[in-house]
Each structure stands twice: as C-alpha cells, then as structure tokens.
C-alpha cells in the first residue's frame, strides 16, 4: 500500500510539472505573438509617418516651384484632419518656423546683429521679462569667451554652478538648450517658446505667418491696435513683398522715416525656407508622433534637419 501511495504521488508530481511547463510555454508563446504583433504595428505606423513626411516635402517643393511668397492661405499651412488608413489613421500639420524669431539671428559673423537684438529685447519686454537676457544669450552664442556687456561674466558664471559647465560659443542647436543659459529658467523658456526658434543660420521674419506678438516686436511703432489691424489686412490679402508690409506699417518711404524703413527691411521677408512638420499616426495598437524640422532650398528641394519620434 505504501508503494502504491508513493507511485500515485509521483504520478501527480509528474502531471503537475507537465502542467506548469505547458502553461509556461503557452504564456511564452502568447508573449512572443504579442511582441511580434507590436513590432509589426510599430513598423507599419512608422511607414505611415515616413509617407506623410515625403508628402509634406513634396507639397513644399511644389509650392516653391509655383510661387516665391509663403502665407497661411497656402495648402501646406492647412491643418490636415485625421486621415483613415488601414487599421488606423494619420494626421499632421506644417508650421512656418520663420513666423517666429530665430534666436541664432542675434549673432551674425560673430558680431551682434543690432536689428535682431532690438527685436528680441522688445519681445522680452512684451512678456514682462528682463531685456538683459538678450545679452546673456549673445554671450552663449558668440564664438569668444569675452562678455559683450559688463557684468555678464560668461564662463565665470557657468563654471561657478553646482555642476560646472561652459557656454556653448556656437549657435543653438535646439530651443531646449535655452534652459542652460543664464536667466532662462523653465518658466521663462515656456513663456518664449511660442515665439522663438533655433535655426541653423540667421533668418528674417515672414510677416505673412508671424504672430501678433512677433509683429509687435518688429518695431517700436507697432502697437497692439496696429498689429491687430495688420493681421486683419493679412487675412484679406497677404503681403507679396516686404516693401508692401513696411509701407503698411510706416507709410510711404521718405526722408523722415528712411532709417526706420531700413531697420525694418533688415528684419522682414515674405518667403520662408524653414518649416516644422508634426505628424501623428496609429496602426493597430501602436501610436507614434513625429516632429521634424525641414529646410527648403531656393530650388524647392526639401531636406530633413532633425526629427524626434515620441510614443
């Protein structure tokens, strides 16, 4: 009887081991299937996004070939509603980065760009921020370690931090780099984010896509009422030349406003070369978003400067 009892126990143990092993194999198989499905879905989602990027580039190229003026009434500037695709959707929009102030315009050929500096100071004052921040940023961008203004200290300030580091002494690569510059805390950066960009080279403001805040920062003569009227006029009829915009702001050029005309002409344009593409796509259970910066050359050819994928 004792031997029979032992035999029964051994059989039960074997069955238990078999059951546990089988369950583990089934679970592993299910996990493997889920992983494979997820990878397939991610791959297809990324393919949708890449297709959207090619479509956006083609749209910008066609636009350049048809005209030399960029404005918010063009097809590239229209918000694309979610477009159904197999097992998901794709949506996106293009933003004119030259509708914002390019912070790298503050320094040209390692010299302070006075016109751009004036614009940035006005923009800072509009947002109730210290205009001195403009000098801190210039010292961060220019290629020397000497301060452009007394009391800015440049590297001495950064080396004195809890975690020492040096100023970049080169153009900003990404707008997030602002957080490393003296005085640009998280709240300040967030406040400026809608109005500024960091492009590879100095650029002018496209007045056909600039926001009301950026338009006001172009000149001391543009107050809130005139800026609002400029937006209304632009919506009815975009500016085809920079001169048309300047005349709308200052009136016909004459001996009295000639200096203001010249200063404003250094800052504005009606065509753009830099754009930002935002795309969101879903396929099955996978979702991906893409933010990429695009450059369009004079011949219309579009190149991708940077791209960031996020879930």
Distances (CA, A) of 159 to 66, 69, 140, 165, 186: 52, 46, 13, 5, 20
Q: Give me the pLDDT at residue 217, please.
A: 97
d(CA 193, CA 21): 56
Closest by CA position to 148, among listed 117, 176, 127, 177? 117
User: H-type helices in the chain, by residue range?
Assistant: 2-66, 114-126, 133-141, 155-159, 186-192, 212-217, 224-236, 242-250, 258-265
Q: Give me the pLDDT at residue 72, please.
A: 95
Q: Residue 88 CB: number of other CB atoms within 10 A?
A: 19
d(CA 67, CA 203): 20
Residues 6 or more apart from 130 whose CB is under 8 A from it?
A: 124, 183
| Predicted confidence (pLDDT) per residue in 109-161, tens digit | 989 999 999 999 999 999 999 999 999 999 999 887 555 555 555 688 898 88
Average pLDDT in the 24-28 region? 63
Average pLDDT in the 220-247 region? 94
Averaged confidence pLDDT in the chain: 87
Contact 95, 79 (CB under 8 A): no
pLDDT at residue 302 is higher than 90: yes
Closest by CA position to 278, among listed 77, 95, 143? 95
d(CA 306, CA 311): 17
| Predicted confidence (pLDDT) per residue in 48-93, tens digit | 888 889 999 999 999 999 999 999 999 999 877 677 777 778 888 9
| Predicted confidence (pLDDT) per residue in 163-194, tens digit | 999 989 999 999 999 999 999 999 999 999 99
Question: Which secondary structure element, helix H or strand E, spans residue 196, and what is its range?
Answer: strand 196-197
Q: Give me the pLDDT at residue 49, please.
A: 87
pLDDT at residue 99 is higher than 80: yes
d(CA 226, CA 298): 32
Does the CA dihedral 211-212-216-222 come out positive or negative? positive
pLDDT at residue 248 is higher than 80: yes
Phi and psi at 224, nearest 5°, equal -60, -40
Contact 141, 180 (CB under 8 A): no
Average pLDDT in the 35-60 region? 79
Distances (CA, A) of 135 to 48, 115, 153, 158: 44, 14, 11, 15
Q: In this prediction, what percent of the chain has a pLDDT beyond 70?
A: 85
Exposure pattern of 169-183 as b/e (b: 16+ CB <10 Å)? eebbeebebbeebbb
Closest by CA position to 289, among listed 139, 95, 92? 92
Q: pTM for the whole thing? A: 0.84
**Bridge partners, residue 281, by sequence:** 90, 288
Q: Give me the pLDDT at residue 84, please.
A: 78
pLDDT at residue 33 is higher than 60: no
What token pair was written down for 102?
């390019």
Q: Give me the pLDDT at residue 229, please.
A: 95
d(CA 311, CA 304): 20
State the greatest distance between any 2 C-alpha atoms of the chain, in Å, as a whole number.
121
Q: Give me the pLDDT at residue 40, please.
A: 62
Q: How confident is the model at residue 291 (pLDDT cuts 50, 70, 90)?
A: very high
Question: Which is more confidently placed, 45 or 64?
Answer: 64
d(CA 223, CA 35): 58
| Predicted confidence (pLDDT) per residue in 7-16, tens digit | 667 766 766 6
Q: Which domains does the chain have, with CATH numbers?
A: 2-98+273-310 (3.30.1300.30), 103-195 (1.10.40.60)
What token pair was written down for 6?
């032992």
| Predicted confidence (pLDDT) per residue in 209-223, tens digit | 999 999 999 999 999
């Amino acid at each position: 009887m004792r031997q029979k009892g032992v035999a029964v126990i051994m059989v039960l143990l074997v069955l238990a081991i078999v059951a546990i092993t089988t369950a583990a194999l089934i679970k592993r198989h299910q996990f493997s299937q889920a992983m494979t499905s997820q990878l397939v879905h991610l791959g297809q989602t990324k393919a949708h996004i890449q297709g959207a990027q090619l479509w956006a580039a083609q749209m910008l190229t066609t636009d350049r070939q048809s005209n030399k003026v960029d404005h918010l009434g063009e097809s590239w500037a229209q918000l694309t509603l979610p477009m159904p695709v197999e097992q998901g959707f794709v949506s996106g929009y293009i933003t004119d980065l030259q509708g914002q102030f390019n912070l790298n315009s503050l320094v040209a050929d390692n010299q302070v760009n006075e016109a751009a500096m004036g614009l940035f100071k006005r923009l800072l004052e509009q947002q109730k921020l210290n205009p001195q921040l403009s000098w801190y940023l210039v010292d961060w961008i220019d290629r020397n370690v000497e301060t452009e203004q007394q009391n800015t200290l440049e590297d001495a300030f950064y080396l004195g931090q809890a975690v020492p580091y040096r100023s970049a002494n080169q153009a900003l690569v990404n707008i997030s780099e602002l957080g490393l510059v003296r005085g640009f805390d998280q709240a300040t950066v967030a406040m400026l984010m809608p109005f500024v960009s960091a492009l590879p080279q100095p650029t002018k403001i496209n007045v056909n896509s600039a926001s009301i805040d950026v338009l006001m920062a172009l000149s001391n003569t543009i107050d809130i009422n005139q800026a609002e009227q400029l937006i209304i006029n632009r919506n009815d009829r975009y500016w085809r030349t920079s001169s048309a915009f300047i005349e709308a702001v200052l009136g016909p050029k004459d001996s009295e406003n000639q200096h203001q005309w010249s200063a404003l002409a250094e800052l504005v344009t009606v065509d753009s070369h830099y754009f930002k593409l935002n795309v969101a796509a879903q396929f099955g259970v996978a979702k991906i978003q893409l933010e990429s910066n695009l450059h369009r050359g004079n011949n219309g050819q579009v190149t991708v400067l940077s791209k960031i994928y996020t879930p």
